[in-house]
Structure 1
Amino acid sequence: MQFAFGLYPGFTSLDVIGPYQVISNIPGAEVVFCAAHRGLLPDEHGLLNVDIAHTFRDVPEPAVIVIPGAPHTRSLARTSDPIIDWIRNVHTTTTFTTSVCTGALLLGAAGILDGLDATTHWDSYDDLSSYGAEPTETRVVQQGKVITAAGVSSGIDMAFTLTAKLYGDEVAKAIQLGVEYDPQPPFDSGAPSKATPEIRQLVEAVMAANRDASPYGKALTPIR
């Protein structure tokens, strides 16, 4: 079964690496990273580069797609970026179409979320609504073959949910034990309903300052 991670310049690294760590442990899984162009593709900080060997054209019928978010996904979703057309086209034949964080906005731009319950990063609920989706704070939301995950780290939970749907609970549990995924965070401040108003205001201010901006001060393009 082919699992395709659809990437673009400036992606949030954990949105990709978290699910990848789970999915790559599925026996027999074929994992493909693809983007509009081949070459080194930088994450949002420009420090982590993924070597893209496959373009979207090379991956026309993946069984599962995983779409990560990024700080600039709002603006990307309002363009005719190749990833949006690819999502729209492959969704017709996928077994599951999934997103992490603001990757859901790209699913929305592709016309996939209209009328569905969905989730994304809590700071993007209004953006999600603009695509006809009904936002929910639930960490992982499944609507038919569409699975959306909330912000960043929730992609790991999504990947375990996906694994269980495809291969059964025992396989998912075995991978969970193998990677020792037993989160016990030192703080209970990981959701907007749990954080104090002061913490939420601080995070909102930082996100507003970074929203839609390239972390490099220039257009994000692959290194060819």
Structure 2
Amino acid sequence: MDDTKHQIGLILFPQLTQLDLTGPFEVLARLPDAQVHLIWKDLDPVLSDVGLRILPTTTFTDCPDLDVICIPGGPGMNDLLNDEEVLAFVRRQGANARFVTSVCTGALVLGAAGLLQGYKAATHWASMHFLESFGATPVNTRVCIDRNRITGGGVTAGIDFGLLLAEALSDRMTAEKIQLYMEYNPEPPFTAGSPDTAPPAVVSEFRSYAEGMLKRRGEAVAQAAQRLKETTSEQASFKQPLPR
């Protein structure tokens, strides 16, 4: 391992949305002074929500101290919200990382780990309302930067996120050269990329499709938020001075 390089870690998990991870990976792995790790509990292949197999490069146990920790999103993120092994790793790395970041619904994992309290944050539009459960202020934007918290919106926003993070870690010229190499100059063929511009029938169809998953997510968020509240209360009580 080259200790002179920025240590960047992206968490893998079953049923993640791969572009949440591979978008920023494509950008950040091209930084000349960065080493990017794909992290999970073990080194077995991880299957994305559409069947792409991705190999972790390190485990929670063996991962070095990170300068940047990033959590992608996806349907499988629901299970992470109350997975103490994952949350403990995120909290530990987030405590000392230069940047604590996410893409899409990965922001909810940061929230469940207690790392978004008092911060502005972005996430996928369909899950934006869950951020308040973790003490965060939702912001409807492609990339939200609040101090050292950088959160990307839904899926494709991970590329914008990656380029802005690349600039922060290096410089604008380097980030722009990566953008040019990628020919990242989007001209989407439809206007359905936002609920504000998509045809109402498309929005309705999506909501019906995602209803069950979002219901389960809401239940997981409520459980995680309650656990976080109880933990915060316990910590506050512990810090109270003893009576004389």
| TM-score of the aligned structures, taking structure 1 as reference length | 0.89
SS in 2 for 1:57: coil
Conservation of the 8 A alpha-carbon contact between 2:40 and 2:59: yes
Which amino acid letter does the alignment assign opposite residue 174 of structure 1? Answer: K
Letter in 2 for 1:36: K
8 Å contact from structure 2 (residues 13, 76) kept in 1: no
What corresponds to 1:198 in structure 2?
A: 201
**What do residues 161-195 of structure 1 show as CA deviations (whole Å, max 9, x unaligned)?**
10111111111100000111110101122122222
What one-letter code is carried by the residue in structure 1 that aligns with 2:29? S
Unaligned runs of 5+ in 2: 1-5, 218-244
**Aligned pair 1:62/2:66, yes or no?**
yes
CA distance in 1, matches of 2:45, 2:83: 22
Cross-structure match for 2:96? 93
Determine the C-alpha separation between the residues in 1 that align with 2:45 and 2:153. 27
Aligned to 2:237: none
Matched with 2:134 is 131
Distance 1:5 1:53 in 2: 10
Mark the runs of 5 or more structure 1 residues left unpaired by the alignment.
214-224
Contact 2:8–2:67 (Cα < 8 Å) also in 1: yes
My pick for the range that moved more, 134-143 or 193-202, is 193-202
Would you say the 8 A contact 2:80–2:86 is kept in 1? Answer: no
Give, in whole Å, the separation in 2 of the partners of 1:131 and 1:60: 27
Bigger Rg, structure 1 or 2? 2
Residues 6, 83 of structure 1: 8 Å contact kept:
no
CA contact (8 A) 1:163 1:171 kept: yes
Give the structure 2 partner of residue 221 of structure 1.
Answer: none
Q: What CA distance in whole angstroms lies between the structure 2 residues aligned with 1:142 and 1:107? A: 14
Distance in 2 (alpha carbons) for counterparts of 1:192 and 1:72: 23
C-alpha displacement of 1:53: 3.3
More relative contact order, 1 or 2 (CA 8 Å, 6+ apart): 1
- Work out whether 1:37 is the aligned partner of 2:29: no
How many residues in Structure 1 have an aligned counterpart in Structure 2?
A: 211
| Aligned equivalent of 1:2 | 7
Percent identity of equivalent pairs = 36
Determine helix, strand or coil for the equivalent of 1:147. Answer: strand
In the TM superposition, 1:113-192 aligns within 5 A as 113-192=116-195
Shift of 1:75: 4.4
| Residue 106 (structure 2) pairs with residue 103 (structure 1) | yes
- The alignment partner of 2:102 has SS state of strand
Aligned to 1:50: 54
More helix by share: 2
What does residue 78 of structure 2 align with? 74
Q: How big is each residue's C-alpha offset from its partner over 1:15-51, in whole Å with a ceiling of 9 and x where there is no partner?
A: 0111111111111311111111121111113x21112
Report the counterpart of residue 233 of structure 2 in structure 1: none
Match of residue 234 from structure 2: none
Distance 2:199 2:34 in 1: 41
Give the TM-score of the pair, scaled to structure 2: 0.82
Cα RMSD for the two superposed structures = 1.5
- Shift of the 52–72 alpha-carbon distance from structure 1 to 2, 3 Å rule, reads closer
Is the contact made by 2:15 and 2:77 (CA closer than 8 Å) also made in structure 1?
Answer: no
Deviation string, structure 1 residues 97-135 (Cα, Å, up to 9, x no partner): 110100000000010111211110111112111111111
Contact 2:14–2:76 under 8 Å retained in 1: no
- Contact 1:8-1:83 at 8 Å conserved across structures: no
The answer on whether the counterparts of 2:46 and 2:53 sit within 8 Å (CA) in structure 1 is yes
